[in-house]
């Protein structure tokens, strides 16, 4: 794989990852007249939950559902420059033009508290947000990628995780993909994102607390025991291979939810071996085919990588991918209503065993 770094017209970084042997040199310049890149966001700590909340008002003006002919993630064409200056690409990553976090945040803004509320800390939203375009084909999807291309994307995720982890203001790296309008996607081109958070996220904090308590009590990783039990019983397993297992978790929250877990405890994507990455690409391709066959339509989903924080809990975390959907039937959505949104108590309208059986049968 060839890696080429360049800059966009406003100074944002763009990185090309080419797996095509005869791919052209990536030398095209961004010809747009863009305003200076100065996003502004801040984080505030909720005194009732002790969780950080992000304020990013500039994102109100981000691109919203453009038609295919004006898609900013497609390659540039004569007279129509986009976010990618080249006329083609394999996989490309660039800094988000409308980021929730950015290293340019907080000029002259020192950590302080909200006016009149000393119990609410506030600070610049320092971090990094990147967009990952999986293919130049606007009408494709991750599930339609070849296995070798999925393997390239895994290497890209690992590359960007390492790069972001080296930044002093990043505490956790989160690669993810949002797919489908039902999820809230505003750009239909096949793409994902990577967030470099300036704090450890609430979900990860809780999972590390549970992992620590379980380790102290049993002397073993909780994910290791979950994985062994799921593989032993088999009723919720969707796909398995030498190095990975995909299963519907026994306490699934979402109408469709699959966890893809490596058989070896590793903290993050960079820690995977070349063989484990190859194996994941093949298995994940099969998992996505099950998901898209479930309702005989493209399944809207979120694919979220759970990685260890950059500097804490790395001996407790167990890398895994969580793929879930809000679609509970072919034409009905699961809404996060009172119990879920108000109290964080999830109510599932089906059973994990039934969903797993349907997914296994969906090919």
Residue 196 falls in which region: left (phi positive, over 0), alpha (psi -120 to 50) or beta: beta
Percent of the chain with pLDDT over 70: 99
pLDDT, average across residues 230-237 = 98
> Which residues, 6 or more positions from 337, have their beta carbon under 8 angstroms from its beta carbon?
none
Number of structural domains found in the chain:
2
**Quick one: 195 and 209 in the same domain?**
no
Q: What is the predicted pLDDT for the residue at 112? A: 94
DSSP 105-173: TTTT---EEETTEEEEEEEE---EEEEEE--S-TT--GGGS-HHHHHHHHHHHHHHHHHHHTSTT--EE
**Quick one: 227 and 298 in the same domain?**
yes
**191 noted as active-site residue:** yes
Q: What is the predicted pLDDT for the residue at 273? A: 98
- Does residue 42 contact residue 122 with C-beta atoms inside 8 Å? yes
**Quick one: 184 and 111 in the same domain?**
yes
CA-to-CA separations, 217 to 203, 214, 251, 296, 313, in angstroms, rounded: 21, 5, 21, 45, 17
> Which residues, 6 or more positions from 129, have their beta carbon under 8 angstroms from its beta carbon?
95, 96, 99, 100, 101, 102, 193, 194, 195, 196
- Does residue 155 contact residue 1 with C-beta atoms inside 8 Å? yes
pLDDT, average across residues 219-236 = 98
Whether the per-residue pLDDT at 123 is higher than 60: the answer is yes
**Quick one: 80 and 176 in the same domain?**
yes
CATH number at 318 reads 3.30.428.10
Whether the per-residue pLDDT at 190 is higher than 90: the answer is yes
Q: What is the predicted pLDDT for the residue at 57? A: 82
- Domain stop point among 136, 168, 199: 199
CA pair distance 125, 129, nearest whole angstrom: 11
Residue 166 falls in which region: left (phi positive, over 0), alpha (psi -120 to 50) or beta: alpha
CA-to-CA separations, 149 to 63, 98, 175, in angstroms, rounded: 27, 27, 17
pLDDT, average across residues 139-163 = 98
Whether the per-residue pLDDT at 201 is higher than 70: the answer is yes
Q: What is the predicted pLDDT for the residue at 60? A: 74
Q: Between residues 102 and 163, which one has the greater pLDDT?
A: 163
pLDDT, average across residues 49-77 = 89
What confidence category does residue 104 fall into, taking pLDDT thresholds of 50, 70 and 90?
A: confident
Reported as half-sphere exposure (CB side, CA atoms, 13 A), residue 335 has a value of: 4
CA pair distance 297, 181, nearest whole angstrom: 13
**Quick one: 249 and 146 in the same domain?**
no
Q: What is the predicted pLDDT for the residue at 144? A: 97
CA pair distance 281, 168, nearest whole angstrom: 31
What's the CA dihedral at 184, 188, 194, 195 to 10 degrees? -30
Reported as half-sphere exposure (CB side, CA atoms, 13 A), residue 142 has a value of: 30
Question: Which residue carries 């070896």 as its tokens?
Answer: 264
- Does residue 41 contact residue 51 with C-beta atoms inside 8 Å? no
- Domain stop point among 137, 169, 199: 199
**Quick one: 24 and 105 in the same domain?**
yes
Whether the per-residue pLDDT at 272 is higher than 90: the answer is yes
Alpha-helical runs (H) found in 219-273:
222-233
Q: What is the predicted pLDDT for the residue at 109? A: 67
**Quick one: 137 and 274 in the same domain?**
no
Range in 1-5, 129-133, 182-186, 240-244 with the lowest mean pLDDT: 182-186
Q: What is the predicted pLDDT for the residue at 282? A: 98
CA pair distance 98, 56, nearest whole angstrom: 9
**Quick one: 262 and 184 in the same domain?**
no
Q: What is the predicted pLDDT for the residue at 110? A: 78
**Quick one: 313 and 190 in the same domain?**
no
- Domain stop point among 179, 199, 219: 199
Whether the per-residue pLDDT at 25 is higher than 60: the answer is yes
Q: What is the predicted pLDDT for the residue at 108? A: 57
Q: What is the predicted pLDDT for the residue at 86? A: 98
- Does residue 195 contact residue 126 with C-beta atoms inside 8 Å? no
Q: What is the predicted pLDDT for the residue at 178? A: 97
What rounded mean pLDDT belongs to the chain? 95
Residue 343 belongs to domain spanning: 203-361
**Quick one: 225 and 187 in the same domain?**
no
CA-to-CA separations, 312 to 224, 228, 231, 356, in angstroms, rounded: 20, 26, 29, 34
pLDDT, average across residues 96-120 = 86
Q: What is the predicted pLDDT for the residue at 359? A: 97
Question: Which residue carries 């032993």 as its tokens?
Answer: 232
Active-site residue identified among 103, 191, 290, 320: 191
Q: What pTM was computed for the model? A: 0.96
CA pair distance 167, 196, nearest whole angstrom: 9
Q: What is the predicted pLDDT for the residue at 258? A: 98
């Amino acid at each position: 794989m060839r890696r080429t770094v360049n800059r966009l017209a406003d100074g944002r970084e763009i990185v090309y990852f080419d797996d095509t042997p005869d791919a052209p040199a990536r030398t095209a310049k961004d010809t747009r007249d863009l305003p200076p890149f100065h996003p502004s966001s801040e984080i505030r700590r909720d005194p009732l939950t002790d969780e950080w909340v992000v304020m990013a008002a500039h994102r109100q003006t981000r691109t919203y559902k453009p038609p295919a002919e004006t898609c900013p993630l497609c390659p540039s064409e004569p007279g129509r420059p986009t976010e990618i200056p080249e006329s083609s690409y394999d996989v490309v990553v660039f800094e988000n033009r409308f980021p929730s976090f950015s290293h340019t945040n907080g000029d002259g803004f020192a950590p302080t508290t909200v006016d009149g509320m000393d119990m609410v800390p506030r600070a610049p939203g320092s971090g990094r947000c990147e967009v990952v375009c999986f293919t130049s084909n606007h009408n494709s999807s991750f599930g339609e990628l070849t296995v070798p291309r999925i393997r390239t994307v895994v290497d890209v995720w690992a590359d960007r995780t390492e790069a972001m982890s080296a930044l002093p203001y990043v505490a956790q790296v989160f690669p993810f993909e949002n797919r489908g309008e039902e999820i809230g996607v505003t750009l239909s081109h096949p793409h994902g994102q990577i967030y470099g958070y300036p704090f450890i996220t609430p979900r990860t904090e809780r999972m590390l607390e549970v992992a620590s308590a379980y380790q102290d009590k049993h002397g073993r990783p909780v994910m290791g025991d979950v994985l062994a039990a799921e593989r032993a019983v088999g009723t919720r397993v969707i796909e398995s291979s030498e190095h990975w297992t995909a299963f519907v978790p026994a306490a699934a929250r979402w109408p469709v939810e699959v966890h893809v877990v490596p058989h070896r405890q590793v903290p993050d994507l960079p820690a995977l071996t070349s063989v484990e990455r190859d194996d994941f690409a093949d298995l994940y391709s099969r998992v996505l085919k099950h998901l898209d066959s479930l309702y005989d339509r493209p399944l809207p989903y979120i694919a979220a990588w759970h990685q260890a924080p950059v500097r804490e809990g790395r001996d407790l975390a167990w890398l895994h991918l969580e793929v879930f959907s809000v679609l509970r039937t072919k034409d009905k959505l699961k809404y996060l209503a009172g119990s879920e949104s108000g109290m964080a108590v999830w109510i599932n309208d089906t059973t994990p065993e039934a969903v797993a059986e349907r997914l296994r049968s969906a090919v």
